[in-house]
């Protein structure tokens, strides 16, 4: 699959920081996921029943902005995500570039950002409706705009951040 973007889990260095103090300034909350199935942003997999997880506040746009020099201003937001409380090795599927199966769902929203950190638009993916694009088709549609530098994938029901994609710049 040829893409002009890459899919990214939360980077290892950021995970180390979040396991000590999250983006809201609090220590991680350890929870036992009795039922399993929660999305893990460290490895882009789903939790197993009975697995201990860390629930942390994460500011994906703020982290991206620090790295790129963007200024998200009022678009900066912090929300809860589940991660493994210890290094899990990260996302194993990163090499193939395909969208992680564990992060799929019937209802997703894609939010596109410019290089300066502003929202350029978005796309609702609702698998319960006919002619709804796949995640890959939606990402391709948004990245067709040369101003799009990053797209965040979120769950519709809770607005939870699921994964980040970034434009790959050749050269």
Residue 81 forms part of a structural domain: yes
Q: How much is the pLDDT for 2?
A: 45
- Rounded Cα gap, residues 170 and 106, in angstroms: 33
Look at residues 120, 104, 7, 10 and name the one whose alpha carbon lies nearest to residue 57.
10
Q: Tokens 């200024």, residue?
A: 71
Residue 39 forms part of a structural domain: yes
- Rounded Cα gap, residues 123 and 133, in angstroms: 9
Q: How much is the pLDDT for 75?
A: 87
Residue 92 forms part of a structural domain: no
pLDDT above 50: residue 61: yes
Residue 35 forms part of a structural domain: yes
Give the range of the structural domain holding residue 46, as residue numbers without chain letter: 5-86+101-167
> What percent of the chain is modeled with pLDDT above 90?
67
pLDDT above 90: residue 102: no
Q: How much is the pLDDT for 122?
A: 94
Q: What is the pLDDT of residues 149-158, one digit of tens each?
A: 999 999 888 8
> What percent of the chain is modeled with pLDDT above 70?
95
119 burial level (CB within 10 Å; 0-12, 13-18, 19+): middle
Residue 71 forms part of a structural domain: yes
The residues near 158 (Cβ < 8 Å, ≥ 6 apart) are none
| Residue 97: pLDDT band with limits 50, 70, 90 | low
Residue 94 forms part of a structural domain: no
Look at residues 33, 3, 48 and name the one whose alpha carbon lies nearest to residue 143.
3
* pTM for this predicted structure: 0.90
Token pair, residue 129, equals: 């409706």
Q: Give the number of domains in the chain.
A: 1
Degrees, nearest 5: CA angle 116-121-123: 140
Q: How much is the pLDDT for 1?
A: 38
- Rounded Cα gap, residues 1 and 75, in angstroms: 31
Residue 96 forms part of a structural domain: no
């Amino acid at each position: 699959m040829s893409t002009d973007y890459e899919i990214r889990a939360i980077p290892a260095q950021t995970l180390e920081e979040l396991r000590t103090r999250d983006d809201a300034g609090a220590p991680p909350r350890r929870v036992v996921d009795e039922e399993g199935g929660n999305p893990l942003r460290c490895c882009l997999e789903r939790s197993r029943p009975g697995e201990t997880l860390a629930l942390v506040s994460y500011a994906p746009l703020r982290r991206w902005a620090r790295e790129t020099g963007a200024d998200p201003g009022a678009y900066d937001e912090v929300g809860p995500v589940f991660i493994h409380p210890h290094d899990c090795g990260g996302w194993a599927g990163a090499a193939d570039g395909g969208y992680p199966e564990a992060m799929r769902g019937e209802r997703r929203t894609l939010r596109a950002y410019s290089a300066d950190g502003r929202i350029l638009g978005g796309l609702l993916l609702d698998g319960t409706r006919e002619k709804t694009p796949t995640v890959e088709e939606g990402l391709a549609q948004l990245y067709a705009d040369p101003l799009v530098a990053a797209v965040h994938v979120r769950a519709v029901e809770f607005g939870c951040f699921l994964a980040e994609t970034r434009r790959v710049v050749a050269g």
